[in-house]
Amino acid sequence: MHNHHGYKGARIGAERINAGLSAADLVEKFFNAYNGARVAEICRLLELKILNEQNVTLGVSLTGALTPAGLGASAIVPLIENGFIDYIVSTGANLYHDVHYGLGLAMHKSSPFVDDTELRKKQLIRIYDIIFDFDVLLKSDKYVLEVMSGKEFQKKLSTSELHHLIGKHVSEAEEKHGTHGSTVLGAAYRAGVPVYCPSPGDSTLGMNIAAIALTGRGEVVIDVTADVNETAAIVLDSMLNGKSGVLIFGGGSPKNFLLQTEPQLSEVLNIPVRGHDFFMQITDARPDTGGLSGATPSEAVSWGKVNPDMLPNAVVAYVDSTIAIPLITAYVMARCKPRKLKRLYDRRTELLEQLKTKHKENNK
């Protein structure tokens, strides 16, 4: 039957799932409806319009306890190494727990149905159904405290520079402990991928920076204004020389920081831009409570964060990130060729100068 009205897509088949089916084929052939279909749409969008194009700059935000679940090493690292992630905005907690893996410290599968009072007595820490020794925190704290007490940290620096410097040390720790390729920070350092944290004080990394100041070991000063300008400069360059896409895992502060680049350019700096060209989000947050985590891409259009002409390229899947991230990673690793690394961290000064020039041109 012909589709005269344009409402009917491909016919849903009756094909069976058989042994040996790849994750990419599973998504393509059998994720036909509801949030499964939205995950499939994100995968196809990445494959057909983003990752097989060199001129699309993709920013990724990480919210929720993703690195403790091993998703840093298993998914984010290979995406970085293959040029599929150009810059990252993350919670500080994800970056702190990332360090455990570089140091060879153990995280364990467990159950959410345990006695937390008993865990406390045994000095065990729980993140839902992940359990690890309290000593993991103590060893990680000692490591980051020593690293950030180093001379190169004692200055005013953006979080991208902070994480780049930590990443250098973590990359060296990976070689020492035989854990190469296990950390987001190490991979981002090697690939020149800038990593930002909009709330650096809201994590154990920030707590250790505070301890360094309190005890007189040094003075690490985080310049949050540099983060705002650097990310705006990255997005402006992507607009001038191609397209900009965002892939949001979770919501919270990293989501807003990733999206606020557009109003920073158009509203604050008076540089006319069109909004992000591609918007993909994995979330469990509802839109009707007014929180940013659940805000839809169409709502973001009203803020100038998303290009209204590109709403067909905006997809939200309401699903747990721990389900979606491995599937999306497996799909793009199978269907997309590695991209040349953009090494945006190395271009920060150049991009900031371009931002200043465009601001002057539009504010005479």
Instruction: Give the residue numbers annotated as catalytic, written as ranges.
Output: 305
The 8-class DSSP code of residue 153 comes to: G
Cα 336 to Cα 40, 50, 79, 82, 243, distances in angstroms: 15, 10, 11, 9, 18
Q: The sheet that has 108-109: what strands, in order across it?
A: 108-109, 130-133, 124-127
Q: What is the dihedral of CA 280, 253, 258, 186, to 10 degrees?
A: -90
**What are the DSSP calls for 275-293, one per residue?**
-BSEEEEEE---STT--GG
Q: How far apart are CA 63 and CA 304, in angstroms?
A: 23
Q: How far is CA 304 from the centre of its chain?
A: 21
What are the residues facing 245 on neighbouring strands? 58, 278
Nearest to 294 by CA among 306, 277, 282: 282
Partners of 56 in beta bridges? 243
